[in-house]
Amino acid sequence: MSHEIRTPINAILGLLELVIKKYKTNEFDIQSIDIAYQAANDLLDLIGDILDISKIESGKLTLMPEKNNFKNTIYSVYKIYSYLAIQKGIKFNLDFDENIREDLIYDDARMKQVLVNIVANAIKFTEKGSVNLSVYLIEKSNDTYKIKIMLTDQGIGIPDHDMAGIFQAFNQANNHDGKGGTGLGLMISKAICDLMSASFDIESRENIGTKISIVLNFNIYKQDNAVSLEKNSIEVENKRYKILIVDDYAPNRLLISEQLKYLNHSVVQSINGKEALDIYMLDKFDLVITDCNMPEMDGYELARKIRCYEKEHDIESIYIIGYTANAQREIIDDCLAAGMNGCLFKPITIDDLNNAIHEALTNKEIVEYDLKKNEERFFDIDMVNALTSGNLELNKKILEQILIVNIEDIKDLESAFNEQNFIRCKSIAHKMKSGANIIGCKQILEKCSNIEDSLSLEKAESHVKDLISLTSIINGQIKNEMQTY
């Protein structure tokens, strides 16, 4: 894709190759592993914005400022790209003002993203000579620091006629022969600097080089906040929870399980939602972390079935967190709509995972899930009343019989689907329409008709899963209604 993606990948691959070769000679290269790890994290942050460039265009790009060490931010980028500069045969020099404080408030990921974009460009378009990065303090007060970042290169530069379009998406200068890239780097960097209320200025002369100047104002972190954070950290470390991990991809299960074990938690693993539901019903857990998209039963359906089970058995709601590689707002909304309490994006660092668990399990008031508040009523009790002339005893008998048949039908439908028996699936769906008509459930009727109208099991798969999930929810609602008689 773009050089913004390729560059960290090249660093990771090169460093890991070096680690492997040294390991074979009984050397352990922790420095290369550390730099590769940082490069992978930077790559992950970068991909998020490249794939979601619409955030910038719609004004939805946001910052998450917190206490960070600015020297560490600068040096983490410098270490990655100094390695690449050496490979290319050019010099990458850093001049950092040691008077800059360590405890400043800013969005570390966004700041690195700006640095990665501009440094990657500078090294990419410099074939000989040097790239120079200077970071120095302009002025300071008791509460704020003004810092200037200056990046100069001896690269091919940008022609005058291309300067006007450098902050437009997917725009590259015409003299970038064969260099590739999406042209998003400068646009993203400028947008982030605008959010930070920072200036972003660029000067360039063709065949001579480019100079970028960024001036930022940072607030200084207050010590009283640090004490509070330290107390929270200790509280998390002293807690031990039993956590159910659900993911069909073995490396993901291994990674998050080892992270949780490192944090001293007890872990049980499951490969899909169907298996996880059985495990959940037989044991007691403090937390469920589930992948959202899995075969047999996905995370959304698992969450819905757990919520129905809790309601049916009058037990406390467990905290459920979705875990997905698809970092989009719609996914979070889908997780919440399914009954989950939150969503994490893959991969996640140990610190972020620790914080998520702390937030989930030390704030019990947000663990409780109000099923009645979050669910839609899927059947019409007035239709049942019309059929029975309001005879409550008869209502209860009808609902009880529909509940029994629904449970049997769902088991049969799941069995037929797992056996890939499409004809049987259609037959069961047709049968289920009768009960749906009695209780006025339009959604069930629609799903059953969709299955009957499908030309293959593959095309009917989503409708079958929806029907199973929907019927499970309705069964819980029927039980609630019966308790009122």
For 232: left if phi > 0, alpha if psi spans -120 to 50, otherwise beta; the answer is: alpha
**What six digits make up the tokens of 401?**
């019989």
Instruction: Work out whether strand 104-106 and strand 209-220 pair parallel, antiparallel, or are unpaired.
Output: antiparallel
Query: Which residue type does 224 have?
Result: D
**What six digits make up the tokens of 86?**
């050496």
Cα dihedral sign for 402, 405, 407, 409? negative
Task: Please give the class, per CATH, of domain 231-374.
Answer: alpha beta
What is the rounded CA–CA span in Å between residue 55 and residue 113? 15
pLDDT of residue 46: 62
Helix (H) or strand (E) segment spanning residue 242: strand 242-246
Domain boundaries, the chain: 62-221, 231-374, 381-482
pLDDT of residue 360: 77
Name the H helices within 146-206. Answer: 185-195
Q: Answer for the pair 210, 173: CB distance below 8 angstroms, yes or no.
A: no
The DSSP annotation for 375-421 comes to S---S-HHHHHHHHTT-HHHHHHHHHHHHHHHHHHHHHHHHHHHTT-
Alpha-carbon distances of 22 from 18, 30, 37, 52, 411, rounded to whole Å? 6, 11, 17, 38, 56
Q: Which residues contact 258 (CB under 8 A, 6 or more apart)?
A: none
The phi, psi pair for 96, rounded to 5°, reads -115, 130
**CATH entry 3.40.630.10 includes domain 62-221:** no
Q: Which residues contact 374 (CB under 8 A, 6 or more apart)?
A: 337, 339
Q: What is the DSSP letter of 433?
A: H
Q: First and final CA of the chain: distance in angstroms?
A: 63
Alpha-carbon distances of 397 from 266, 377, 403, 407, 478, rounded to whole Å? 45, 20, 10, 16, 11
pLDDT of residue 394: 81
What is the rounded CA–CA span in Å between residue 332 and residue 329? 5
pLDDT of residue 361: 78
Q: Answer for the pair 193, 182: CB distance below 8 angstroms, yes or no.
A: no
145 DSSP β-pair partners? 140, 218
pLDDT of residue 110: 86
Per-residue confidence of the chain (485 residues) as pLDDT tens digits? 455 566 677 777 777 777 787 777 777 667 777 777 777 766 766 666 565 566 666 666 677 788 899 999 999 899 888 878 888 899 999 999 999 988 899 988 889 989 988 998 899 899 999 999 999 999 998 889 999 999 999 998 888 877 776 766 545 554 454 444 445 678 888 888 988 999 999 999 988 999 999 999 999 887 654 444 444 443 444 578 999 999 988 777 888 888 888 888 999 999 999 999 999 998 899 999 999 888 888 999 999 999 999 988 888 889 999 988 765 656 777 888 888 888 887 777 787 788 888 877 765 433 333 334 344 567 788 878 777 777 788 888 888 888 888 888 888 998 888 888 989 999 999 888 888 888 888 888 888 988 988 888 888 888 888 888 788 778 878 887 887 77
